[in-house]
Amino acid sequence: MTDQRVSDAPGARAWLGLLVVLGPVLLVAMDGSVLFLAMPRITEALSPSADQALWILDVYGFAVGSLLVAFGTIGDRYGRLRLLMTGAAVFGIGSAGAAFASGPEALIAFRALMGVAGATLLPSALAVLSELFTDARTRARAIGIFAATFAAGFAIGPAVGGQLLSGFWWGSVFLINIPVVVLFLALAPLLLREVRKVPGGARTGRVDVLSLVLSAGGILLTVYAVKHTAAEGPTAVVSAAGVAGIAVLTWFVRRQLRLEQPLIDVRLFRDRLFAVAVVTGLLPLAAWSATAYLGGVHLQSVLGLTVMEAAVVALPGAVVLTVTCVVTPVLAARTGTRAALVTCHFLVAAGLLLLLPVGVGGGVGWYVASTVVAGVGYGISFSVVADTAVAAVPAERAGAAAAIAETSNEIGNALGIALLGSLAALVFRVQGPDAAATLDETLQLPGLAPAVAADAKAAFVTGLRAAAVVAAALHVALGVFTAWPRRPARPPAVRPSTPRPAPADAPGPSR
């Protein structure tokens, strides 16, 4: 027993390997939010349209979310470390291209490339950790550190971007990735080993290319329709794209039900707790990403704060979120998973409603309070969703459940800006002065009258409040649904041992 414990105890190589793996994990998470405070500067430099500005923000999340499960399967077959190294190199190339992009189209393309690379890093990094830490208890601790790092990356992204922009040009938020990537590529071959599924074990299967195309295409078509309608109003082409997107996603779901090895096992959603956990992974990320982006614009473009001041204002919420990620597993073990999920949704809703008093003339204190209260809810979500989803399904489906939980986080991050951001854009278009499609574009117009600028700022604040109210209402609804007690299963009827003979013409029991 003692020898086994000694052999399973991780050495310096394991902990150094964990440290090396956390670098790319932090970058993938941070790049999902690093642009929230940088968008006013990017808008000034590249002059993207309202549609392009939203794509710059969320094409990264869509690429990660759409490909996460597929790259998990590819890594199983061809090697996790190989995929991890390739993904890190491509992530670095995409970061350099984004930093020096000459226009919005190029920036969108390089952000998409970064998202594709990011989708290779998360599942591969987790698999490599399983090789570094063979003891179950120590491995759980390492995965906890992994999850906390991922959550911290999302939380500190806006603050890091703001600090960089206070002294450098907007491309610096991408160039910061390069040193981390180079260090990882140098150290990973020395500290990490290749990981594949053991031959003869569970089948890795093949990647169903059609499912991959259907999922990504359906999401992109649907979101394009929502974005374009909010920014410029409905058209026949846009409406057709929306209908096509819904049809493609329906085809995708039906195909998953027929495949022996689906890209996403949609049957898992029949379990109520699993479905709640996955939606909990999606909805808080959607609310957080949308309000962080809209809040950053409010702080800079409406209230006139510098990017450094806006970054400082965002720090308390980031700290609270990160600390909550660390302490939640201990508290959830005492209170129970359902209580943690319910608390998560009501805290997020309360925090979002604290944005309602913000206005054209102030609201910094309300913004800080909002991020702190909601940050506790976000931290709970980050900590318990994956474990809840995995625990809700049979052991042989744990891998599929974990992949879906991770995907829900990434899709939620992108959908928040796409849908709630589009709602805010729609409100601005309807109530604004009709001088330009976005607040920043309006404020940059030459010879802008003060009254028009004031009207534009007021319309933006109304859009921010509308997005916060809708997100809060969704969280309240999900919190109530989660708290609602399940109806106990009806016990089977006890049949008499000698049933009375039925008439000859009576129907038999249905089968």
Q: Which residues, including other chains, have CB under 8 Å from residue 236's CB and lie 6 or more apart?
A: none
DSSP 51-66: HHHHHHHHHHHHHHHH
12-196 CATH pick, 1.20.1250.20, 1.10.287.3510, 3.90.79.10, 1.10.150.130: 1.20.1250.20
Burial status of residue 178 (CB atoms within 10 A of its CB: 0-12, 13-18, 19 or more): middle
Q: Write out pLDDT tens, residues 252-300.
A: 889 988 887 777 777 878 877 778 888 888 888 889 888 888 888 898 8
Burial status of residue 270 (CB atoms within 10 A of its CB: 0-12, 13-18, 19 or more): exposed
Say if residues 211 and 256 touch (Cβ distance below 8 Å): yes
C-alpha to C-alpha distance for 405 and 47, rounded to whole angstroms: 36
Burial status of residue 135 (CB atoms within 10 A of its CB: 0-12, 13-18, 19 or more): middle
Name the one residue in this structure whose structure tokens are 């999920």: 341
State the CB neighbour count (10 A cutoff) for residue 424.
29
Q: Which of 70-74, 151-155, 167-171, 332-336 has the highest mean pLDDT?
A: 167-171
Task: For 453-463, give one letter per residue: b (16+ CB within 10 A) or e.
Answer: bebbbbbbbbb
Asked if the domains 12-196 and 267-484 are classified in one and the same CATH topology, the answer is: yes
Domain boundaries along the sequence of the chain = 12-196, 208-262, 267-484
Helix (H, G, I), strand (E, B) or coil at 70: helix
Q: Write out pLDDT tens, residues 218-249.
A: 877 887 787 777 666 778 888 898 899 899 98
Q: What percent of the chain has pLDDT over 70?
A: 79
Q: Helix H segments across 416-449? A: 421-431, 439-443
pLDDT > 50? residue 88:
yes
Domain 267-484, what fold? Growth Hormone; Chain: A; (1.20.1250)
Maximal CA-CA distance, the chain: 94
Its pTM stands at 0.70
Check residue 195 and give its pLDDT.
Answer: 56
Q: Comparing 295 with 121, which gets the higher pLDDT?
A: 295
C-alpha to C-alpha distance for 344 and 231, rounded to whole angstroms: 32
Check residue 202 and give its pLDDT.
Answer: 45
Q: Looking at residue 418, what DSSP letter applies?
A: I
Instruction: Say which range, 109-118, 145-154, 189-198, has the weakest mean pLDDT.
Output: 189-198
Q: Helix H segments across 265-336? A: 272-297, 307-335
Q: Write out pLDDT tens, residues 354-391.
A: 999 998 888 899 999 999 999 899 888 877 776 676 66
Q: Comparing 184 with 484, which gets the higher pLDDT?
A: 184
Say if residues 193 and 131 touch (Cβ distance below 8 Å): yes
Token pair for residue 451?
Answer: 């009254």
How confident is residue 339, by pLDDT bands cut at 50, 70 and 90?
confident
Average pLDDT, whole number, for the chain?
A: 78
